[in-house]
C-alpha cells in the first residue's frame, strides 16, 4: 500500500503523532492535472500534513488541500488550501508544525488529500473551493 501521494513532481503525506505515515487503502485517482487520495484514519486520530516537491525536480505550481467530512456527507476544506509557486521557493515544501496536530472529528474515519497542478503560479482559489 502507498503512503505518499506523488504526482508530477510533488509529494504529500499524512503522518501520525507517533511518527508513522498513513497508508492509502485505495489507489489515488488521477484526473488530468489533479490527483486525489482517500485515506482511512481512526476516529479522533491526530495527524500532521506534509507537502514538498519531489527530490531532484524543478519548482512547481500547484494547489494542495485536505478535505474532511463536515456533518452528514458534506466535505469542506480543512484547515485551508496551500499553494506552491515556482516564483517562491518557500512554498515548495511545508509541514504543519508538530505542536499543531490536526484531529479528525469524532464522527469520521477518512480524509481526502488533493494536489492540483497549475501551468502558472496560483492566484485566487482552486476550482474545488
Triad 105, 102, 78: Cα angle to 5°:
75
**How much is the pTM?**
0.79
Domain ranges (residues) in the chain: 5-117
pLDDT in tens, the chain (129 residues): 789 988 889 999 888 888 889 888 788 999 989 998 888 877 777 788 888 999 999 999 999 888 776 655 555 556 567 889 999 999 999 887 555 566 666 666 778 888 989 999 988 766 654
Residue 24 CA to residue 79 CA, distance in Å, equals 20
Count the Cβ atoms, other than its own, within 10 Å of residue 129: 11
User: In terms of C-beta density within 10 A (0-12 exposed, 13-18 middle, 19 or more buried), how is residue 27 classed?
Assistant: exposed
Pick the CATH number of 5-117 from 2.60.40, 2.60.120, 2.40.128, 2.70.98: 2.60.120
What is the DSSP annotation of 2-45?
--SEEETTEEEEEEETTSPBPPPSS--EEETTEEEEEEE--TT-
Amino acid at each position: 500500500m502507498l503512503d505518499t501521494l506523488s504526482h508530477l513532481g510533488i509529494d504529500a503525506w499524512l503522518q501520525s503523532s507517533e511518527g508513522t505515515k498513513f497508508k492509502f487503502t485505495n489507489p489515488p485517482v488521477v484526473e488530468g492535472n489533479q490527483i486525489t487520495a482517500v485515506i482511512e484514519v481512526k476516529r479522533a486520530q491526530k495527524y500532521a500534513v506534509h507537502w514538498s516537491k519531489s527530490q531532484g525536480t524543478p519548482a512547481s505550481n500547484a494547489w494542495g488541500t485536505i478535505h474532511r467530512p463536515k456533518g452528514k456527507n458534506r466535505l469542506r476544506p480543512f484547515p485551508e488550501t496551500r499553494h506552491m509557486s515556482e516564483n517562491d521557493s518557500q512554498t515548495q515544501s511545508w509541514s504543519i508544525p508538530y505542536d499543531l496536530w490536526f484531529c479528525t472529528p469524532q464522527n469520521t474515519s477518512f480524509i481526502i488529500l488533493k494536489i492540483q497542478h497549475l501551468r502558472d503560479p496560483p492566484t485566487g482559489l482552486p476550482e474545488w473551493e
